[in-house]
Chain A
Amino acid sequence: EAGVTQSPTHLIKTRGQQATLRCSPISGHTSVYWYQQALGLGLQFLLWYDEGEERNRGNFPPRFSGRQFPNYSSELNVNALELEDSALYLCASSFSGSKAGELFFGEGSRLTVL
């Protein structure tokens, strides 16, 4: 069974550009979580989608946005890129609600902003 897949693996952008990251959850999972892991800052919660809706948002500016598609895959968009957006972006999926259990993580997308 396929795990959580993320694309692209690496992405290089310049300041002011936009970046789009994609995530496909494990089959049967309806919840998708996005985390930012910048150097030395641990995992910072970005967004949580479940059943196609945004359920919770971390303390990030509005230029970080995303969506979840009917097949439960998800996209993270970062507009007006800044140097400090350089980080590993991790996606995780889980079952929904009372069956949530553990998170399953993808390998991440490394975003570099020059």
Chain B
Amino acid sequence: AQSVTQLDSHVSVSEGTPVLLRCNYSSSYSPSLFWYVQHPNKGLQLLLKYTSAATLVKGINGFEAEFKKSETSFHLTKPSAHMSDAAEYFCVVSDQGTYKYIFGTGTRLKVLA
């Protein structure tokens, strides 16, 4: 069965410092993995996706994530946080066999000036 765990419900960083949002998954099939961002009272926007090509995936706004099969992880990183990055981030796993999308519980990122 698929599942996804976001290890931190809240993360605070100072502006200009690195961001690390952690995500672990389990999947019976070859997974597709996604990170979405949600600003307050808005829909979700795709940051990046992994679909069995390169394990290091680059997304929008300077974010990237690395698929590590041995660790079943797909952590989201950004070298330097910006105030506009403050939002909620969701890790999502989808199996090619079931076409179901499983969402993590979200990580709220706070960026301090």
B-contacting residues of A (Cβ < 8 Å)? Answer: 4, 31, 33, 35, 42-43, 45, 48, 56, 88, 90, 92, 97-98, 100-108, 110
Contacts and interface: CB of A to CB of B under 8 A. Distances in A.
B103 A97 contact: no
A107 B101 contact: no
The 3 A-B residue pairs with the shortest CB-CB distance in the complex, in nearest-first order: A105-B43, A105-B44, A107-B43
Contacts of A98: 96
Given A45-B101, A90-B44, A107-B43, 19 more contacts: A33-B101, A35-B103, A42-B103, A43-B106, A48-B100, A90-B43, A92-B44, A100-B94, A101-B32, A101-B51, A102-B32, A102-B34, A102-B49, A103-B34, A104-B46, A105-B44, A105-B45, A108-B41, A110-B41
B25 interface: no
Interface residues of B, number: 22
Interface of B: 32, 34, 36, 41-46, 49, 51, 90, 92, 94, 96, 99-101, 103-106
A102 B46 contact: yes
Given A42-B106, A98-B96, A103 B45 contact: no
Contacts of A43: 90, 103, 106
5 contacts: A42-B106, A88-B41, A90-B43, A103-B34, A105-B43
A90 B42 CA distance: 9
A4 B42 CA distance: 13
Given A101-B32, A102-B49, A108 B43 contact: yes
A42 B105 contact: yes
Nearest to B48: A102
B44 to A, nearest CB: 4
A45 B90 CA distance: 14
Contacts of B103: 35, 42-43, 45
A107 B106 contact: no
A112 B74 CA distance: 35
Contacts of A88: 41
